[in-house]
Amino acid sequence: MNRIKEKLEILSDAAKYDVSCSSSGSKRKNEGGLGNGNGTGICHAYTEDGRCVSLLKILLTNHCIYDCAYCVSRKSNDVRRAAFTVDEVVQLTMNFYRRNYIEGLFLSSGIFSNPDYTMERLVRIAKKLRTEEKFFGYIHLKTIPGASEALIKEAGRWADRLSINIEMPTEKSLALLAPDKSRKDMLTPIKYLRNEIIKNKEEKKAFRSTPIFAPAGQSTQMVIGATPESDMEILGIANYFYGKMNMKRVYYSGYVPVSTDSRLPAIGTPVPVMRENRLYQADWLMRFYGFKVEEIVNPTYPLLDLEIDPKLGWALRNPDLFPVDVNYADPELIKRVPGIGLKSVGKILKARKFTSLNFEHLKKIGIAINKAKYFICAAGDFERKIYSQPQLKRIIVREIKSKYQPNFSTQMQLFL
């Protein structure tokens, strides 16, 4: 038991660098066993409707044949090594689930001796949980680049979501920091999974009895800040995966200095958490608000502003589109107003059918009036004074800081 506990400490700690562990989108039904993967994912993850769920997040092993400069588990790093057996992962998952510690499993791995050898063990774990333990909770498996299509297809049968990390934003950066890895080996299974997921959906329409295949889709992750790519390049790559690969999510993992290497940023200079946060906000605008990449970042503004969120940054750069009259404007334009979210847009559209909305109405609806008031007019209410872009930015930042004092310097600054 002590040995299992030691493995768990080592392999759960090694797994913390993989951030792509959301649990939304699965439609796997409970067929007389344990657990439910429908809409749910000991890490905390969030579903599409905002619920927090818990996942057992571990590596099968932190042994690895690769020597990626940015990875704590690379073969040349002097760390404690461990590996679970297939049965140990299955029993850990079931024991944790029965104690109500978790709702699912997020399983990744270093590479034992070759991709197929490792992938085969990941698949065996998922299959054993489903068929022998009758576990119908959420399972997220990492797909090992270079593994055979047969194993990847088998993984999709048992897992709710599959993910293949592209590691670095560009092929050039991958060649610099992970010369043993191939971009082609990453893109090939991503394309294969895209095609299999599409094919499965079509077969489902024709035959109800068709087994589900990776019902929560696939995701990927890239490390940011270890190499000099701009936010424009990073978001452009994410946009490609959303548009061409039907990717469910792209994750951005800020590089954490783990060793001294001339190819990497110096120890003590981690990527600002705020940069990760801004990338996720920009990603959200692309996926749900109809923004194009070039509207958020472009050659003139290749980096996201760390002081303000990307929607506010876009609005400040496009003053000719404002103010927006919330009582008459097109919903697509209202969505672009800083401080107004998608749910608030829906409430505005419903409410304006019955009355002419003013600022007090909008406050009750729940919009962030301290931002929005500079970009909207409503039933005669509007901010009359004309500000320059730098002036308005300073005013809004000051108002937000004032609202969230005294804790602004810590947690709340992430939501600017």
Q: What is the edge-to-edge ordering of all strands in the sheet holding 249-254?
A: 43-46, 52-59, 104-108, 138-142, 161-163, 218-224, 249-254
Domain termination site, one of 166, 200, 218: 218
405 found inside a domain? yes
257 found inside a domain? no
Query: Residue 53's pLDDT is what?
Result: 64
pLDDT digits (tens, 9 = 90+) for 306-361: 999 999 999 999 999 999 999 999 999 999 999 999 999 999 999 999 999 999 99
Domain termination site, one of 218, 250, 266: 218
Cα–Cα–Cα angle for 282, 366, 382, rounded to 5 degrees: 90
* Nearest residue to 81 via CA among 62, 95, 103, 64: 62
Q: How far apart are CA 416 and CA 149, in angstroms?
A: 44
Does residue 210 share a domain with residue 66?
yes
Query: Residue 41's pLDDT is what?
Result: 28
264 found inside a domain? no
91 found inside a domain? yes
The residue segments making up the domain with residue 385 are 310-415
Does residue 203 share a domain with residue 85?
yes
Does residue 39 share a domain with residue 178?
yes
Helices of type H across 132-182? 149-158, 171-177
Alpha-carbon radius of gyration of the chain: 23
Token pair 């905390």 in the structure block, residue:
44
Tell me how long the chain is: 416
235 found inside a domain? no
Instruction: Determine how β-strand 52-59 pairs with β-strand 43-46.
Output: antiparallel
Enumerate residues 6+ apart whose C-beta is below 8 A from 374.
322, 338, 383, 387, 392, 395, 396
CA 358, chain centre distance (Å): 36
47 found inside a domain? yes
115 found inside a domain? yes
Q: How far apart are CA 182 and CA 201, in angstroms?
A: 30
DSSP 281-349: HHHHHHHHS---HHHH--SSS-S--SSS-HHHHHHHH-GGG--EETTTS-HHHHTTSTT--HHHHHHHH
Whether the ω angle into residue 179 lies within 30 degrees of 0, i.e. cis, is: no
Domain termination site, one of 218, 234, 257: 218
Does residue 176 share a domain with residue 55?
yes
Query: Residue 82's pLDDT is what?
Result: 94
Q: Which two tokens stand for residue 76?
A: 């040349």
Does residue 131 share a domain with residue 29?
yes
Please identify every stretch of the chain with a pLDDT value under 50, giving residue numbers as ranges: 23-26, 34-41, 406-416
Does residue 165 share a domain with residue 40?
yes
Cα–Cα–Cα angle for 145, 146, 151, rounded to 5 degrees: 90
Query: Residue 94's pLDDT is what?
Result: 95
Task: Domain count for the chain, please give it.
Answer: 2
Query: Residue 131's pLDDT is what?
Result: 96
Beta-sheet strands, E only, within 121-163: 138-142, 161-163
Burial class (CB in 10 A: 0-12, 13-18, 19+), 313: buried
Query: Residue 412's pLDDT is what?
Result: 37
244 found inside a domain? no
Q: Which two tokens stand for residue 155?
A: 């993984």
Q: What is the pTM of this model?
A: 0.86
